[in-house]
Structure 1
Amino acid sequence: MPSLSILFSSSSSRLIFLSKTLAKRTIFSSLSAMSINLNAHAFAGNPIISKTPKLHDPLSPSSAFQSLKTQLLQTPENSSPLFKVLPFRKGRPLASSSITGDDDVPSWHLGWISLPDCKGFLGKCGVELSEDSLVYLGSKAEEDVVYWAVDVSEEGGLVPELGSKRFCFVELRTLMVATDWDDSSAMGELAIAGHARALLEWHSLSRFCGHCGEKTVPKEAGRRKQCSSELCKKRIYPRVDPVVIMLVIDRENDRALLSRQSRFVPRMWSCLAGFIEPGESLEEAVRRETYEETGIEVGEVVYHSSQPWPVGPSSIPCQLMVGFFAYAESLEINVDKEELEDAQWHSREDVRKALAVAEYKKAQRTTAAKVVQMCKGVEKGQSLSTDFNVESGELAPMFFPGPFAIAHHLISTWAYQDVPSDGVEADSKQPSSSTSNLQHSYSPKD
């Protein structure tokens, strides 16, 4: 390879080279800074696991588990701490829903039930609730409450019993779309439900030891498992599957590479993503996945943020989406048709137009209303893609995942990176080093 002195022999060449290098660094410094002010992603910010109590605290997993065994044997009056249980059926949390306020805005809530009520409901189905079937989720010291989850997938009789009380088991993805991302309380409940689903799915997958094949038993109030064999006693911890998700940007910072998978609803485009392989760094995974799926070579990689993602298939209990901006060193696309349906470069202007007309708030409220109907016993089928229309009623040419997904924030952060807080646009090729106003991501057009 020729030396830099040969490649840039003249002063003007050196200045051009340095100018492009500094511009690229400014672009990525600006993009990286923009992640600082992000609100919590969906499924992040769990309010009951922010701090794990000390070992001898009555709300700690070990102490709460001992109290749980006592309360299951008897139901003492004014028992402390108070136990609340969230039942799950086939990966779906129990939920209730209502329409409140002057604007008749629908909202959903997790279907917490007391420990005595949980015992009673299961007792009517001929099932005795045991301490090993409950999984510790967390606690709130200020309320003296400990929260648990239980899988009741095998108890079909619970559905009509709970349905008569306006409870319903709802797909977590549906609740995700129905959640008002401006409501911190609702986002907290979604995070709790995601954490619980991930733990219960992991328990279902880890019933046997992968080392010797013997049965496993729950330990630490369900926060880990252990092989039952005295010769093995292998410890097993909850599984997390890391995934890189990246918005690839061209060298001029004018266009972003977006892709479609065959399973996407019509007109939806998103970022590239892929699982990390053993022995691979995050940056290496970004470059490998981008090249394998689109043939694009990636150079610089900049971290943005991460998001727990417990709404994948049950065989992958909890993905951790690790988001990046990636700088493309080539432009020619060669799509791997086994991985993607299509991949194209999209201009910043086209991305902004798509963000401006997509009715994310309408989709959220429509789905929240659907949850209300489900909890009333009336379930209406509707494609969520029909909610992403422009005001005139015409279909938008394309849209992106809603604000519940990290892909949305990667795309919108880049699209509005040159819009400072005063609303005056700067040159996108010479982005300001100031932090971008991310309000665009959270206040889409109704």
Structure 2
Amino acid sequence: MPQPANPEPAPDFDSMLSRKFGKEVANYFSGSPLNRVGFLRSDHKFLSEALRHPSTQFLLCNELQPLIHSSKPDRLGFVKHEVVQPVIGDDPYAATEQDMLGQYNSTSYVPQMIFLGIDEKAKEGVSYQNKKNTYKGAPYFAVDVTPRASVKEECEKLIQGLDAKGLGFAKGRVMDIEAHDAAIYAEARQLLDWNARNPFCAQCGQPTLSVNGGFKRTCPPKDLARSAKQASSGISNAISTTPETPADESERPPCATRKGVSNVSFPRTDPTVIMAVVNHAGDRILLGRQKRWPPYWYSTLAGFAEPAESIEEAVRREVYEEAGIYVGRVVIHSTQPWPYPANLMIGAVGQAIPEGETIDLGNDPELDDAKWFDFDEVRHALRVGTSGLGEDAGPEYKEGGLRLPPSTAIANQLMVSVVNGFVSAQPKM
């Protein structure tokens, strides 16, 4: 399958920054067409209107896999409110967040839903005035329709109906859909996954509630399931109102997260450095490979940033640990959201110091091999030998030649920039 194009970067204009650093690089999974309007996520009046508006688009995910068109697998499939209504109910935002906290019942299963933002370029959309400003656009939501719990039957019926309409859920890692759709899916997948992974409070272990359009989780002070449990066990009100127990049977034990401003948990994003390292002479690039990769397939080095560590320090540490190379100057190149499950790839270019270019794989067993490659060999591989891990190289590729990641990977963009003049400031394209 042809590799999808990366999103267009921010509009370029004659400015000091563009003259000094060149045109911005936009990577796959970025470039969303949506305005997230994060300040409206807690406004349930807006969310309620947006949910039922005729222009609203719903991206459905089953086991985190997005809905796509069977005949056009490079495009996401969106549905309207009436399609998903049997699963989500009439209006999940009928109550305010405060009321939701008071009505919380941990035994009631509610499908996870994420407010993704609004498409301000859509021809039709909701118009909502909040304080001094009016916001217009087609709303987008993501909904988890994985068949489970009390909505299992409704989800199964929904999925069967979608299949009859030529819509199905993508298989495997999604890397071949159109760029703007990929950015929408990245937001949806990461938020759905985070909510699914964090159903309990990290401080007290009690179940949490998803709020703020799916972007926060909070530990409610009450749980109606506690009252039901006590009633079913035959505990009398007289016992429950002793000094040792709360008068309100639904009250939960104290939790530190309900004090001060730290009363919510936020989505996790893991900063990850990925770097194109050039030698001191500026004519070779360091690439490595893992054992599980296809033969001759190499990429740039990468690793997680650690606590109390700058990005530049993380680059130098990871390159030393994995390949034994000592890196001097580090420059940030571009970034890429990576929703598998929650990474932010921070692309950098570093240059080895003259006496630190000897490769040593003895520190860390992560790499199977690492080599310095001439720029000319990398340029050729970028033209004929790029592919995903499970895909064949292009028709011009000859067995034994260098293979590299596809253009949708930030590693590819880093290599392209380096071998075409990013370091020397002498473009060769």
* 1:319 alignment partner, one of 333, 340, 343: 343
Partner of 2:226: none
* 1:268 alignment partner, one of 297, 309, 318: 297
Query: Do the aligned residues in 2 keep the contact of 1:258 with 1:270 (CA within 8 Å)?
Result: yes
* 2:367 alignment partner, one of 326, 332, 340: 340
1:219 CA displacement:
1.3
How has the CA–CA distance of structure 1 residues 167 and 257 changed in structure 2, closer, same or farther, with 3 Å as cutoff? same
* 2:141 alignment partner, one of 139, 148, 152: 148
Superposed counterparts of 1:45-84, under 5 Å: 45-49=31-35, 52=37, 55=40, 62-67=44-49, 80=53, 82-84=55-57
How has the CA–CA distance of structure 1 residues 270 and 218 changed in structure 2, closer, same or farther, with 3 Å as cutoff? same
Partner of 2:394: 389
Unaligned segments of structure 1, at least 5 residues: 1-31, 72-78, 99-105, 180-185, 364-382, 419-427, 441-446
Aligned length: 334
Partner of 2:285: 256
Q: Which moved more, 1:257-266 or 1:405-414?
A: 257-266
Query: Do the aligned residues in 1 keep the contact of 2:323 with 2:359 (CA within 8 Å)?
Result: yes
In the TM superposition, what whole-angstrom CA distance separates every residue of 1:183-221 from its partner, at most 9, and x where no partner exists?
Answer: xxx311110001100000000011111011111111112
Partner of 1:166: 166
SS in 2 for 1:173: coil
Matched, 1:137 2:137: no
SS in 2 for 1:109: coil
Query: Do the aligned residues in 1 keep the contact of 2:321 with 2:364 (CA within 8 Å)?
Result: no
Query: Do the aligned residues in 2 keep the contact of 1:137 with 1:148 (CA within 8 Å)?
Result: yes
Query: Do the aligned residues in 2 keep the contact of 1:97 with 1:109 (CA within 8 Å)?
Result: no
Query: Do the aligned residues in 1 keep the contact of 2:65 with 2:171 (CA within 8 Å)?
Result: yes
Unaligned segments of structure 2, at least 5 residues: 1-17, 94-109, 126-137, 223-253
In the TM superposition, what whole-angstrom CA distance separates every residue of 1:23-46 from its partner, at most 9, and x where no partner exists?
Answer: xxxxxxxxx989642442111111
Query: Do the aligned residues in 2 keep the contact of 1:81 with 1:146 (CA within 8 Å)?
Result: no
Query: What CA distance in whole angstroms lies between the structure 2 residues aligned with 1:228 and 1:53?
Result: 22
Query: What CA distance in whole angstroms lies between the structure 2 residues aligned with 1:300 and 1:357?
Result: 31
Query: Do the aligned residues in 2 keep the contact of 1:214 with 1:229 (CA within 8 Å)?
Result: no
Query: What CA distance in whole angstroms lies between the structure 2 residues aligned with 1:246 and 1:283?
Result: 10
Query: What CA distance in whole angstroms lies between the structure 2 residues aligned with 1:205 and 1:53?
Result: 22
1:114 CA displacement:
0.6
* 1:350 alignment partner, one of 377, 394, 397: 377
Percent identity reads 34
1:130 CA displacement:
4.6
In the TM superposition, what whole-angstrom CA distance separates every residue of 1:231-290 from its partner, at most 9, and x where no partner exists?
Answer: 333301111100011111110011111000123233221111110111111111111111
* 2:357 alignment partner, one of 320, 331, 344: 331
Superposed counterparts of 1:80-99, under 5 Å: 80=53, 82-98=55-71
Query: Do the aligned residues in 2 keep the contact of 1:96 with 1:168 (CA within 8 Å)?
Result: yes
Q: One-letter code of the match for 2:407?
A: P
How has the CA–CA distance of structure 1 residues 299 and 136 changed in structure 2, closer, same or farther, with 3 Å as cutoff? same
Query: What CA distance in whole angstroms lies between the structure 2 residues aligned with 1:359 and 1:346?
Result: 16
* 1:119 alignment partner, one of 77, 85, 93: 85
Q: One-letter code of the match for 1:108?
A: D
How has the CA–CA distance of structure 1 residues 151 and 432 changed in structure 2, closer, same or farther, with 3 Å as cutoff? closer
* 2:76 alignment partner, one of 86, 89, 110: 110
Matched, 1:279 2:285: no
* 1:406 alignment partner, one of 405, 410, 419: 410
Query: What CA distance in whole angstroms lies between the structure 2 residues aligned with 1:357 and 1:416?
Result: 16
SS in 2 for 1:108: coil
Q: Which moved more, 1:210-219 or 1:332-341?
A: 332-341
* Superposition CA RMSD, Å: 2.8
Q: One-letter code of the match for 1:334?
A: D
How has the CA–CA distance of structure 1 residues 282 and 138 changed in structure 2, closer, same or farther, with 3 Å as cutoff? same
Query: Do the aligned residues in 2 keep the contact of 1:389 with 1:395 (CA within 8 Å)?
Result: no
Query: Do the aligned residues in 2 keep the contact of 1:52 with 1:60 (CA within 8 Å)?
Result: no
Query: What CA distance in whole angstroms lies between the structure 1 residues aligned with 2:19 and 2:53?
Result: 45
Query: What CA distance in whole angstroms lies between the structure 2 residues aligned with 1:284 and 1:172?
Result: 34
Q: Which moved more, 1:137-146 or 1:277-286?
A: 137-146
Query: What CA distance in whole angstroms lies between the structure 1 residues aligned with 2:409 and 2:79?
Result: 29
Q: One-letter code of the match for 2:382?
A: L
Q: One-letter code of the match for 1:326?
A: G
How has the CA–CA distance of structure 1 residues 151 and 339 changed in structure 2, closer, same or farther, with 3 Å as cutoff? same
* 2:217 alignment partner, one of 225, 229, 242: 225
Query: What CA distance in whole angstroms lies between the structure 1 residues aligned with 2:20 and 2:44?
Result: 41
Query: What CA distance in whole angstroms lies between the structure 2 residues aligned with 1:359 and 1:292?
Result: 27
How has the CA–CA distance of structure 1 residues 281 and 188 changed in structure 2, closer, same or farther, with 3 Å as cutoff? same
SS in 2 for 1:267: coil
More helix by share: 1
Query: What CA distance in whole angstroms lies between the structure 1 residues aligned with 2:425 and 2:359?
Result: 30
SS in 1 for 2:276: strand
How has the CA–CA distance of structure 1 residues 162 and 129 changed in structure 2, closer, same or farther, with 3 Å as cutoff? farther
SS in 1 for 2:367: coil
In the TM superposition, what whole-angstrom CA distance separates every residue of 1:365-419 from its partner, at most 9, and x where no partner exists?
Answer: xxxxxxxxxxxxxxxxxx7432x1343x63361221111111001111111118x
SS in 2 for 1:215: coil
How has the CA–CA distance of structure 1 residues 432 and 297 changed in structure 2, closer, same or farther, with 3 Å as cutoff? closer
The one of the two structures with greater contact order (alpha-carbon pairs below 8 A, sep at least 6) is 1
